[in-house]
Amino acid sequence: MSSAVLRPCARCVLSSMRRAWRPRKYCVSHTWVVQAAGAVSRMAAPVQLIGEGDYVVLKREDVFKAVQVQRRKKVIFEKQWIYLDNAIGKNYGTMFEITGGGNLQMKSNIVASAEPKEAGADNRNIVDDGKSQKLTREDIEALKEKGIKGQEIVQQLIENSTTFRDKTEFAQEKYIKKKKKKYEANITILKPSTRILAVMYYAREPGKICQLRYDTLAQMLTLGNIHAGSKVLVMETCAGLVLGSVMERMGGYGSVIQMYSGGGPVRAATDCFGFPKSFYETLYEFPLNKLEALISGTGSYSSRVIPAEEEPEKMDEESSRSDNEKQKATQDLVGDCLAESTESMETSLAESEEGVKRCEEVSENHKGGQNVDKKQVAMEKKQKQDERRKREAEAAKLLQDRNADGLIVASRFHPTPLLLTLLEFVAPSRPFVVYCQYKEPLLECYTKLRERGGVINLKLSETWLRNYQVLPDRSHPKLVMSSGGGYILHGITVTRDTTKTNTSCSERTEEPAPKKQKVAEDKS
C-alpha cells in the first residue's frame, strides 16, 4: 500500500515538468494521501476543552472578566457569585445559565418561533404612567423563589404588559432585550485572545494599559512585523498586555526580551493568556538600569549558577518573621508540656520525669523540623535567584549581539530616552513602533530621531475607530464611541553614516566667515 502511494502516476510526472509536483484529484493513490493527511491533521488538532487550572474569559453582554478555573472556588462576576466546576470538560464558547447556589447549567438552544408578531404602527398612543405592567415586584420575587428561570419570567412580563402589543416591532425587540439583560443570568466562557483581553482591559481598567485601544494594538503588531522565529525587544507598562500579544503572535518560536523598570516585570495580563510552559522558555527579561553598563561593556554577566553549599548567612524579613512565629509556637508547645508535667508531679515523681523527658524530645524534634524548614525555604529562594540570574545573563548575551528584529515601546515614561537607548540593540532594516497616549512626547521623539539619523520612513499617526450597529432597517453609527486611541510613531532602522556627518561638520568649522565690506558712496 505504501509503495503504491509513494509512486506518482504518469500525469503527475508530466505535470511536474511544468511546475512543482502536487497530488491531483484524478490520481487515486495521491488522493488517498491527501485524504489521509487531512485525517491526520484533524486528529492532531482536537477540540480544546475547558480544563482545571486554565485561564478563561467570562462574557455577559459587553462585559468581560478573566479568571482561572478552579474547583469549588467562588468567582464574583457582575454582582453574582458562581462556581465554575460544571464548566470543566465543556467546549469554549459554551453559554451557561446561572442556577441556584451559583452553579452553572448549559443553556439549551431554543429556536425562536417564526410566527408573525402582533405589533402596532407607532408608539403615539402609549403613555408611560407606570401602570402598564400587572406584575408587581413582589410577584417577580415570588417567581424567583419558586425557581422559575429568567426566560419564563420574561415571558410572563410580556404577557402581563398591557402596552406590549401596541408597540412597534423594533420597540418590542428592545423591550425583550432589556428584560432579558435584567432577569436572565447567562454567561459565555471564551478562550483568552489578544482582542478579547484588549477589549476587557480597555473597558474595565484603561489606566492600567495607558489607554491602549485594541485597534491601536493591532496596528502596532502589524507595523512591528511580529512573526514566529524573530527576536523582539518589548518595553511596556501595560500590565503585560503588549507582551502577551507579541508572544501569542510568535507562537512560541523565536525570542522575546522584555525590558522592565523597578524590582521586576509586571505580567498580570500575560498570565491571563494561559500560555504553555514552552512559551515562557522563549521569554527573557532585562532591567533598564543595566543597559548603560551593557552598552559601554563595563557590565559582566555570567551564567554560572552558585552552588548550593554557599548558604547565605542572613535571612530576609519574611523568613525571620516565620521563624519567630515558629519559635513562639514551640514555646507554647513546651509550656503545655511543662504544665502537663507539673500536674503529673503531684501524682508521682517518676511520671513527672517521664513527662519532662517527653517534652524535651518534642521540643527538640520541633526545633529540628524548624531548621529543616528554614533550610528548605532558603534553598528554594536561592534556586529562584540563580535561575533569574541565569536568565538575565542569557538575555544580556542576546542583547550583546545587537541584531534584534524589532522593537515595541508602549510605556508611561517619556519615549525619547527609551527609544534612543534601545535602538542600539536593533539590527539595520528592522521596524520599530512607539506608542504614547499623548502626541507631544512623540513629536519630541520624532525631532530627536531626525537629528540623530539612522532611521527612515518616520511616521506619526493617530488611529480612529467607529463602531456601527448593523440591524435590519436600523444600521447606524453608535452614539457612544471612543474619543481617541493614542498615537503611534513608527519607522525603519538603517546604518548610521557617521563619517559623512563628521566631514560636513569639519567643513563648516574650517570655512572662514565672510567679511563685511563697506560700500563706497557715490559723490556724483
Task: Tell me which H or E stretch contains 462.
Answer: strand 455-462
Q: Give the pLDDT confidence of 33-44 residue by residue, as tens digits.
A: 333 333 333 344
**Rounded mean pLDDT, 342-351:** 45
Nine-digit cell string for 343 = 500536674
Is the per-residue pLDDT at 342 higher than 60?
A: no
Is the per-residue pLDDT at 26 higher than 60?
A: no
User: Percent of the chain at pLDDT above 70?
Assistant: 69
Q: What is the C-alpha separation between 349 and 343, in angstroms, rounded?
A: 10
Amino acid 1: pLDDT = 40
- Tell me which of 173 and 123 has the higher pLDDT: 173
Q: What is the C-alpha separation between 16 and 23, in angstroms, rounded?
A: 10
Give yes or no for a contact between 423 and 402, defined as CB atoms under 8 angstroms apart. Answer: no
Give yes or no for a contact between 352 and 315, defined as CB atoms under 8 angstroms apart. Answer: no
Task: Give the helix ranges, DSSP H, for 401-478.
Answer: 415-422, 440-452
Q: Give the pLDDT confidence of 495-519 residue by residue, as tens digits.
A: 987 665 554 444 444 555 555 566 5
Amino acid 138: pLDDT = 84
**Rounded mean pLDDT, 56-84:** 91
Q: What is the C-alpha separation between 70 and 50, in angstroms, rounded?
A: 11
Q: Which of 136-145, 221-230, 244-253, 448-457 has the lowest mean pLDDT?
A: 136-145
Amino acid 267: pLDDT = 93
Q: Give the pLDDT confidence of 260-313 residue by residue, as tens digits.
A: 998 889 999 999 999 999 999 999 999 998 888 888 877 665 444 333 333 344
- Strands 476-477 and 468-469, how do they pair? antiparallel
Is the per-residue pLDDT at 323 higher than 50?
A: no
Average pLDDT over the chain, rounded to whole?
76
Amino acid 249: pLDDT = 95
What fold, for 206-300+399-498?
A: Rossmann fold (3.40.50)
pTM score, whole prediction:
0.71
Is the per-residue pLDDT at 113 higher than 60?
A: no
Nearest partner of 464 among 444, 449, 431, 486, judged by Cα: 486
Amino acid 10: pLDDT = 44
Q: In what order do the strands lie in the sheet with 487-493?
A: 283-287, 255-260, 231-236, 406-410, 431-436, 487-493, 455-462
- Strands 231-236 and 255-260, how do they pair? parallel
Amino acid 500: pLDDT = 56
**Rounded mean pLDDT, 443-460:** 94
Q: Of 32-36, 137-141, 169-173, 492-496, give the range with the top mean pLDDT.
A: 492-496
User: Percent of the chain at pLDDT above 90?
Assistant: 39
Give the pLDDT band (50/70/90) at residue 59.
very high
Nine-digit cell string for 200 = 476587557
Is the per-residue pLDDT at 12 higher than 70?
A: no
